[in-house]
Amino acid sequence: MDLLNTLVDKGLRRELPTREEALAVLATSDDELLDVVAAAGKVRRQWFGRRVKLNYLVNLKSGLCPEDCSYCSQRLGSKAEILKYTWLRPEEASQAAAAGVAGGAKRVCLVASGRGPTDRDVERVGRTIEAIKEQNEGIEVCACLGLLSDGQAEKLREAGADAYNHNLNTSEATYGQITKTHTYADRVDTVEKAHAAGLSACSGLIAGMGETDEDLVDVVFSLRELDADSVPVNFLIPFEGTPLAKEWNLTPQRCLRILAMARFVCPDVEVRLAGGREVHLRSLQPLALNIVNSIFLGDYLTSEGQAGQADLDMIADAGFEVEGAGTTTLPAHRSDAAAPAGSGCGSGVGASLCGSGAGAASDTDTDAAGCGSACGGCSGHAHAEAAPVAAQPAQAEPGALRSDLVAVRRRGAGTDIAPNA
């Protein structure tokens, strides 16, 4: 297929595809799906081999958010029956993080719901970062606290943060349709602040909110222009009690095409399979490992994922290996470009793939104004006797509520029950 040969050649050269080529990936047929996955896999292996980076979410503060993000279970007015609690103490968060590290996670993602942190919140998170790093040598820490004010990114960096997550979520043209309490430009500004402070930018999207193919291409091109080191791809988890509860627009095949498009546009960037993978990819999750080089281990922010051991088994059975703590995730041309001394994640600042290097990107989920990178609609991390994913129904019908496909987190951070790491 000429399209795929062209995209592979461009990916190996780190050359930006055209918008038409990216759109054509999303328009491929199911008969061509394995060819699309194989082509994206060639690009993935060129830059990341067969390594899979594991990330672990700790929800520092759950629910009660003043922002109105339609996809989020923690939003203002949400009727989703999620866990609600205020800030975890640094020692509690460190203990929660230890479970993920013990399971093989290389990065701990600290997420808090809300529009953005106060300076006191930043100091609290700084103490949490220090506690985690004291207990876990070499671990990366990514903060996801919402919209940042001037000087806050620098304080997080000084406390030891390696990265900051703030997702763009969808295209600029349609952003106002999912959120009214802040703007797309606000999100870009926060990613730029993280970049300027020397933090590695983590910023991604949520698919499945009723967007068009053009919207998906727009947001992924924006993420490349903003030079995000990590691009989490979330798939909407339609929580009952949220405005998007009936948005079941995804099939496993479409999810794979979206991931492949992201890989072709961002060939040498950490493309992370994030929230909603169990719900929407189901038995095709192992195929996605041929495209992405990073996943979350266990549960998410407010919803359950599959068991941590199941994640590890899936990686091994598919012929991949967990990335070790001593391995730099990003290729040398990105990780060496202006990476702060001692940074384990490799900040690609100044190493823009397309040359525009505007510098801003972010994650998804609970973040009403910016929050967890494993979102997809607030895919909270933790567990509670999760139903086996393989036993779930094959496909939800558009316009239907499917609470049987969405399990709310009842264990881990904020509870007395052990996490699912």
Which sequence positions are flagged as catalytic? 65, 69, 72, 109, 142, 202, 272
What is d(CA 42, CA 9) in angstroms, rounded to the nearest whole number?
10
Residue with tokens 């491929």: 28
Residues 6 or more apart whose CB falls under 8 angstroms from that of 291 comprise: 37, 40, 41, 44, 256, 259, 260, 263, 271
Residue with tokens 């067969």: 50
Pick the closest to residue 265 from 51, 2, 43, 46 (CA basis): 43
Other beta carbons within 10 Å of 233: 31
Residues 6 or more apart whose CB falls under 8 angstroms from that of 321 comprise: 50, 51, 52, 315
Residues 6 or more apart whose CB falls under 8 angstroms from that of 316 comprise: none
Q: What are phi and psi of 322, to 5 degrees?
A: -70, 130
Cα 84 to Cα 62, 113, 246: the distances in Å are: 5, 10, 23
H or E element, residue 113? none
